[in-house]
Amino acid sequence: MIDDSVAVVVCAGPSLDLFSSAAWADVQRAGEVVSINGGATAAGVLRHGVRFTCMAAMDLKLGLARSVPALPRVWEETSSWRITSADAADMTAETYVRELDELDGVRGWSDDHDAGYKGGSSAMIVGNWLANPWPDDPVAREERERVAAERGKRIPRRGFKRLAFIGLDMVAGDGRHAHGAGTHTSGFASSLGHFRKVAKGWGRFCEQARKRGVECVNLTPGTGLQQMPRAVVPVSWLLSDYVMGLARGEKRLT
């Protein structure tokens, strides 16, 4: 299911608490493993020693640090390639991504090398960025090689044609995060109207990805997001308590 042709995007939903060591061993086979916001500080992620090649946080200085207090320290100390918003130029990072949406004439996807579609989720922005190639520009290449050398970072691969998302729960009215991944409530859960807006953004994202030959799949057990193709993960990926709960007919994550 996962090999080095896949970029895995690890969001911060409560389903991260369900994954076993076998799941994370499979995830580590990906070409890139990218955390979104508090995904890098989730208790299950830390317990299993998950290694991220990239970390992304678009709004670390806009409140995320208060709800994910462990994230600033992890951000400063990580060996991962750090990705943030171009609007957060005062943050230390290796890549600054321009966030674009319909107001910028972008509907579902940006083909700009340095941008991503802002449809209601940081994972969309980063997924778009991962699937676009690095710019074929000697000046830009020299700059990222300089940054990588100075900071001892590995430059991540881009131009992926397969994106897999985990921890992308998106259950209407339930904006919880995995343990350790944030005490705040995800914005999509603020109202049914906002949930539908973000879900529609995901639909546009997946449609435009498909037109560009990019396959997106959600590997999140119990996801409420209908707009992205889903795949059933192996039973070995799930902790036994969750599997037994499913057998008893318990559908909600606890």
198-228: pLDDT as tens digits: 999 999 999 999 999 999 999 999 999 999 9
In a domain, 5, yes or no: no
User: Does any domain span residue 47?
Assistant: yes
- At residue 148, the 3 state secondary structure works out as helix
| pLDDT, average across residues 55-81 | 89
CA distance 74 to 35: 12
Tell me the C-alpha distance between 91 and 115, whole Å. Answer: 17
Q: Would you state the pLDDT for residue 184?
A: 82
pLDDT above 50 (res 131): yes
What's the rounded Cα separation, in Å, for the pair 235 and 30?
19
| Residue 86 in domain | yes
The mean-pLDDT minimum among 47-56, 148-157, 164-173, 236-245 falls in 236-245
Counting the structural domains of the chain, the total is 1
Asked if pLDDT for residue 151 goes beyond 60, the answer is yes
Residue 1 lies in a domain: no
Q: Roughly how many angstroms between the first and final C-alpha of the chain, as a whole number?
A: 27
Whether pLDDT at 99 is above 90? yes
Q: What is the pTM of this model?
A: 0.92
Does residue 173 form part of some domain?
A: yes
Confidence label for 245 from pLDDT (cuts 50, 70 and 90): low
Query: Residue 107 has what pLDDT?
Result: 96
For β-strands 81-85 and 215-218, DSSP reports them as unpaired
What's the mean per-residue pLDDT of the chain?
Answer: 92
247 pLDDT more than 80: no
Instruction: Please determine, for residue 105, whether its predicted confidence score (pLDDT) is greater than 60.
Output: yes
- Does 240 have pLDDT greater than 80? no
In a domain, 152, yes or no: yes
pLDDT, residue 254, reads 46
What's the pLDDT at 236?
A: 94
Given a cut of 70, is residue 249 above it in pLDDT? no
Q: Residue 101: which domain range?
A: 14-193+200-234
Cβ partners under 8 Å of residue 232, min gap 6: none
Assign 196 a pLDDT band (cuts: 50, 70, 90): very high
Q: Is residue 2 part of a domain?
A: no
239 lies in some domain: no
pLDDT at 218: 98
